[in-house]
A = this chain, B = another copy of it.
Amino acid sequence: MTATARARPPRTAQAANVFAALGDSTRLALVNALSDGSRRSIAQLSAGHPVSRQAITKHLRVLEGARIVRQERAGRERLFALDPAPIEDVRRYIDWVSRQWDARLARLRTLVEAQA
């Protein structure tokens, strides 16, 4: 069977943006901090990081540009929260690559069976 491996490569341009946004350890740490669904201010997020608050702000903008994170004003502070949708998208992309790979293994297997 292995009928799941059919299919077009997903919309790669979109996925590349999300991957690029995740391709920095500081930004990954921010994603970690927000992965529990909490909403945190810039000051909270930059506490404990070695870089300046402004650097964190820039990283948050990059994450927002990839829709990984959403903003919300709350008085004098700005709260950030994770949006799991784009990450779910890249997971689908990775699953697609994995399925392609598995299909190749399955193909090799039938090859071997045919020779036996």
- The docked-state distance in angstroms from the alpha carbon of A37 to that of B101 is 6
Give complex CA distance A72, B29 in Å. 35
CA distance A4 to B2 in the complex (A): 29
Q: Say yes or no for A82: interface residue by CB 8 A criterion.
A: yes
Total copies of this chain within the assembly: 2
Per DSSP, chain A at the interface is: helix
Q: Knowing A23-B23, A98-B87 are in contact, say whether A16-B28 is a contact too (CB < 8 A).
A: yes
Is A35 touching B91 in the complex (CB atoms < 8 A)?
A: no
- Which residues of chain A from 62 to 116 have a CB within 8 Å of any chain B CB? 82, 84, 87-88, 90-91, 94-98, 100-101, 103-105
| Interface range, A side | 35 or more
Cβ of B16 and Cβ of A23 under 8 Å apart? yes
**Once bound together, how far apart are the Cα atoms of A21 and B96, in whole Å?**
18
Given known A-B contacts A16-B22, A25-B12, A35 and B87 have beta carbons under 8 A apart = no
